[in-house]
Chains A and B, each alone.
Chain A
Amino acid sequence: MIRVDAVLVALAVASALGVVAAQHQSRKLFSELEREQSRAHGLDVEWGQLQLEQSTWAAHARVEKLARERLGMRPPAPGQVLVVEPQP
């Protein structure tokens, strides 16, 4: 009788400790998830800023200015363009 009691007590204690451990684990994982989520948000923001930067560098006004002034480019005269039409 005593032995059964002892086993039950041991089981109860073990399960109680298990609950504590699981709770701790879940909190740890949760705060990790939190961190990753805020990192994802940060990266999203950075992506937006990089897109912004890209469109600023690639603005048509800027590209045209550089092409004309620094590279000495100009649009081809109509006679210099050969249009290749796909075969129907």
Chain B
Amino acid sequence: MKNKRSVTFNHNPLLKRDLPVWRPRFVLLALLAGSVTLGGRAVYLQGVNNDFLQAKGESRYARVLEVPATRGRITDRNGDMLAVSTPVRSVWAIPSDAKLPPAEARELARLLDMNVSELNDKLASTRDFVYLKRQLSPEVVQRITELKLPGIHHQQEYRRYYPGGEVTAHMLGFTDVEDKGQEGIELAFEQQLAGRPGSRRVIKDRRGQIVEDVESIRPPRDGQDVALALDGKIQYLAWAALREAMQTHQAKAGAVVVLDARTGEVLALANAPNYNPNNRANLTGAQLRNRVFTDAFEPGSVMKPFIAALALERGKVTPSTVIDTSAGRMTIGTATISDAHRSGPLTVTQIIQKSSNIGTVKMAMQFSPAEMWQLFDQLGFGSPLNLGFPGEASGRLRPAKSWRPIEQATMSYGHGISVSLIQMAHAYLVFARDGDLLPLSITRLETPPSSGVRVFSPQTARELRNMLELAAGPGGTASRAMVAGYRVAGKTGTAHKLEGGRYAKKYISSFVGFAPASSPRLVVAVMIDEPSAGQYYGGAVSAPVFARIVEGSLRALGVAPDIALTPLQVARKPGEASAVVAPVQESM
């Protein structure tokens, strides 16, 4: 084949023309330049600038998925659930896509439990994204998806449920629609409880199924569970006792807190008026108020034992020192202080038992304002407890330099100074323990602190325990605090309320006490605001609440009675009929 051709291409006479030498070279150069450009471009795309194209390619098959994380659960000290998040669905729409015929709109509105006009208003919006309804149950959403409506979508969200409802409302607080803490523990422990959603990149196939996990961009982190110090049973008892007192005394508000005297843990916390955290429509500020923490009030006589303890501690008096209170009134500067009940000379023990203002003032005036201020400061008055609760009140304790003598006198019986209920309960730990003050804890402690800051000597604390036991005994102001089977100790307080800078004829009745007096386990503080059914003394209004809580709680905790009672029914020996013995003592 090679050289059989008679006329080769080059020898074609038609082409036999003299071409200028530059022309083939020019063509050659042009072709070369073209291929270099192409090569360069290829290198640029594949090697240097390949990220952009790879990203474009990946976006055809790879997806970034959000991995949801759940919010931590809240449990009580025994592990019972107090708050759980569970998935719900929210229905949303793209209004420009959702052109619904009237029949379908009606059906959708019915499923969403809305007015048709309300639904149409939402769908007429000019925005790209409109929530139609949030936090629907999965069943409802299932039926909506079956309608296959255009432009209507749904997504998963979480909703928090509180099985305790009203009972634990103020302790736990609640979360908003985004499952973020708004009040109480939910807000105080937001950091710990909140989950952090993660995300990951996956490859999906044609049918939308995930076929490969490319990478985890951020692993999801579920919220941690929080175990509270709260005891479900005691909490229920506290709530029920408070509710009953609110009804009996037609009170405006009330609060109760129960502490564990051995560990400083908060075992129960209840407020009234109350609300149901699972259904928060029509909430008022009064219902939301966590009075135990946020309301500072003038405590009244519950302050007296601290002054008596200070006097004992400094050796100014002994429990049997007699102080003359027989005048029934006493003048300091231009003001006059009087006792509710006139009595003769009283011992220090009787002053606490009968709650004498004059006796207390006489003890208090032996100290300088600075000494009293230091005591109040040590007991934690005037500064917040810093438990992380929102809106914790610090109370009002003015600097000692600005005290006038009359103010020092009134402060000794709890006026002119304000404290929150939890501060007062906390301060009573010094009597329930041997004079030391433990820090409080809302969460369950694995290793409770063995001792706290010493305020009084064990000797003083024991003497005060005796006095407070007498105050809560037959001859004291709080005989209605007595509980069958257990020795109790405590102090009543009945304080006038300040209104517009003047003391009004409205009262706050309080009681702070502990039980069993022989070896205190519980400190209970009760405050009832404006009882209006006739009685207003702390001993009549708040002490019975204390008694009810203590009686049930000590039994629930399995604390042995410290008053000897002959059992009604003793254990049966084999072969013997059950021996029934009549109860010997029936106190109350």
CA distance A80 to B86 in the complex (A): 44
Interface range, A side? 20 to 34
Question: Contact check: which of A58, A75, A81, A83 meets B552 at CB < 8 Å?
Answer: A75
Q: Is the CB of B81 within 8 A of A78?
A: no
Q: Is A85 an interface residue (CB 8 A)?
A: yes
B568 part of interface (Cβ distance < 8 Å): yes
Taking CB atoms and an 8 Å cut-off, the chain B residues in 139-185 that contact chain A are 161, 163-165, 167
* Chain B residues with CB under 8 A of A34: 210
B485 and A55: CB pair below 8 A?
no
Pairwise interchain contact A55-B164, C-beta atoms closer than 8 A = yes
Please name the residue on chain A nearest to B163 by beta carbon.
A55
Q: Tell me if A78 and B236 are in contact (CB < 8 A).
A: no
- Measured in the bound complex, the distance between the Cα atoms of B212 and A61 in whole Å is 51
- Contact residue range for chain B? 35 or more
Q: Are B85 and A48 neighbours in the complex by a CB distance under 8 Å?
A: yes
Q: Which residue of B lies closest to A83 (CB)?
A: B560
B484 within 8 A of A: yes
A77–B81 CA distance with the chains assembled, in angstroms? 31
A81-B567 in contact given A52-B81, A60-B232 (Cβ < 8 Å): yes
Given A45-B87, A52-B86, A55-B81, check contact A80 B567 (CB 8 Å).
yes
| A49: chain B residues within 8 A (beta carbon) | 84, 86
Q: Mark B475-493, 1 if CB is under 8 A from A, else 0.
A: 0000000001100000000
Residue of B nearest to A34 (CB): B210
Q: Does A1 contact B (CB under 8 A)?
A: no
Given A27-B211, A27-B212, A60-B167, residue A85 in contact with residue B560 (CB < 8 A): yes
Taken residue by residue from 229 to 241, chain B's Cβ proximity to chain A (1 for < 8 Å, 0 otherwise) reads as 0001100100010
* B377 in the interface (beta carbon within 8 A): no
Q: Cβ of B164 and Cβ of A31 under 8 Å apart?
A: no
User: Shortest CB–CB separation between residue B292 and chain A, in angstroms?
Assistant: 20
CB distance from B406 to the nearest CB of A (A): 47
A15 contacts chain B at the CB level, 8 A cutoff: no
> Does more than half of chain A's interface fall in helix, strand or loop, or is it mixed?
helix
Give the residue of A30, A75, A77 whose beta carbon is less than 8 angstroms from that of B210: A30
| Contact mask for chain B residues 4-30; partner A; CB cutoff 8 A; 1 contact, 0 none | 000000000000000000000000000
Total A-B residue contacts, Cβ distance less than 8 Å = 84
Q: Indicate if A59 sits at the interface (CB-CB under 8 A).
A: yes
- Residues of chain A within 8 A (CB-CB) of B80 are 55, 58
Give the distance in Å from the alpha carbon of A54 to the alpha carbon of B84 in the complex. 12
Q: Does A79 contact B (CB under 8 A)?
A: yes
Within 8 A of A (CB), among B456-492: 484-485
Closest CB of chain B to A60's CB: distance in Å? Answer: 4
B86 CB contacts on chain A under 8 angstroms: 45, 48-49, 52
Taking the nearest CB of chain B, how far is it from the CB of A66, in angstroms? 14
With a CB–CB cut-off of 8 A, which chain A residues contact B236?
60-61, 64
Q: Is B499 an interface residue (CB 8 A)?
A: no
By the criterion CB–CB under 8 Å, are B555 and A81 in contact? yes
A79 in contact with B567 (CB, 8 Å): yes
- In the complex, what residues of A have CB within 8 A of residue B209's CB? 31
Say if the beta carbon of B213 comes within 8 Å of chain A.
Answer: yes
Whether B567 contacts A82 by the Cβ 8 Å rule is yes
**Interface set of B (CB-CB < 8 Å, partner A):** 70, 73, 80-82, 84-87, 161, 163-165, 167, 209-213, 232-233, 236, 240, 484-485, 552, 555, 558, 560-561, 565-571, 583-586
- Closest 10 A/B residue pairs (Cβ): A79-B583, A60-B236, A55-B163, A78-B485, A78-B484, A79-B568, A83-B560, A55-B81, A27-B211, A80-B568
Chain A interface (Cβ < 8 Å from any Cβ of B):
26-27, 30-31, 34, 44-45, 48-49, 51-52, 54-56, 58-61, 64, 75, 77-83, 85
Ordered by A's residue number, 19 sampled pairs between the chains whose C-beta atoms are within 8 Å are A30-B210, A30-B211, A30-B213, A55-B81, A59-B164, A60-B167, A75-B552, A78-B485, A78-B561, A78-B565, A78-B583, A79-B566, A79-B583, A79-B585, A80-B569, A81-B485, A82-B570, A82-B571, A85-B560
Given contacts A52-B81, A60-B232, list 7 more A-B pairs with CB under 8 A: A30-B211, A48-B84, A48-B86, A52-B86, A55-B163, A81-B485, A82-B569
